Amino acid sequence: MHDFSRYAIYYAPQPGPLAEFAAAWLGWDPARGALVPHPALPGLPRPVAEITEAPRKYGFHGTLKPPMRLTGSAEALHADLGTLAARLAPVTLPGLALTRIGSFLALTPLGDATPLARLAAEVVEALDPHRAPPSDAELERRRRSRLSPAQEENLARWGYPYVMEEFKFHLTLTGKLAFGEAERVAETLQPVLAPLLPQPFDIRDLCLFGEAEDGHFHLLHRYALTG
């Protein structure tokens, strides 16, 4: 784990039809650490490679603790993450739905997501001693988004605006889409995704991802939630 510049704690689906389709849709399989061919889906306004360019390098995931540089060793993070996962219980929600969030599409949880938000908050807080402070350039880039006071406070305290009360779990499927494109992409994706979406939606492990030199994130290990 020492060859990666940043580490993140994500949710990633277990191997199966959803994981396989999402990897092909984005063009990157973080479990295999390999680029994969995009599916041929008629009716899209642009090629899949363009639609998914922004989220591709991260792989299909839901963020629990955002990417961070480490203050210490990857081995120490590994140990603490294993201990944390053994303390925390799995989370079960009714399912996932294809949703438009601003100018992009994502999968979002159905039902009351409070248990998931609590899980993410515990992960953020428990592992924060491993997080190196963001650089001035990173802070400036985040602040270009016109952060709210709460988001600014999170940025100062946790190094990222969209955690704790500002956390909204999602699994990104596209980059920014122009006006009218989101509807067309959703119309194409919905019938393909519908039979693949889990019911219920279970989060049963914490996934450690690492960012390689080329910017792509790799799935390094799954830590079962056994609390």
Q: What is the pLDDT of residues 89-102, one digit of tens each?
A: 999 999 999 999 99
196's CB contacts (< 8 A; 6+ apart) are 17, 18, 21
At 196, the amino acid letter reads L
The string of DSSP codes covering 137-181 is: HHHHHHHTT---HHHHHHHHHHS-SSSGGG----EE--S---TTH
Q: What is the pLDDT of residues 192-201, one digit of tens each?
A: 999 999 999 9
Could you tell me the domains of the chain? 6-224 (3.90.1140.10)
Q: How far apart are CA 20 and CA 99, in angstroms?
A: 20
Q: What pTM value is reported for the model? A: 0.95
Q: What is the pLDDT of residues 23-45, one digit of tens each?
A: 999 999 999 999 999 999 999 99
Enumerate the β-bridge partners of residue 203.
91
Residue 2, pLDDT score: 53
